[in-house]
Amino acid sequence: MRVHARDAKSYLDRLVLLFAHTLEGLREFWKEHHNPVLLFPSRQKGLAGAASATTHMDRGGVQRALRQVTAQIG
């Protein structure tokens, strides 16, 4: 129940605790885009294009996505 954050703050790798309810939210988010490689794919081509995106979502996009997921799961 940990996430390996590569090149995080100060370009260091970190292991971050992952709570069960956060994992549920991430699974729901993944069900929307189904990208086989990226957890947070670029959505420049919309949600339909996220499944085939080859670049990751920008930092602001990740923050917005996490806010949406946390609002949905309460």
What pLDDT digit, counting tens, does each position of 5-47 carry?
Answer: 888 778 889 999 999 998 998 898 888 888 888 888 888 888 7
Report CA-CA distances (Å) from 65 to 10, 11, 13: 23, 23, 22
Torsion angle of C-alpha atoms 3, 53, 41, 36, degrees rounded to 10: -40
Residue 56, domain member (yes or no): yes
Compute the average pLDDT of residues 37-63: 84
What's the gap between Cα 42 and its chain centre?
10
Asked if residue 33 belongs to a domain, the reply is yes
In a domain, 14, yes or no: no
* Total count of domains within the chain: 1
Range of the domain at 46: 20-73
**What pLDDT score was predicted for residue 17?**
94
For residue 6, tell me if it sits in a domain: no
4 is a domain residue: no
Burial class (CB in 10 A: 0-12, 13-18, 19+), 3: middle
pLDDT of residue 2: 92
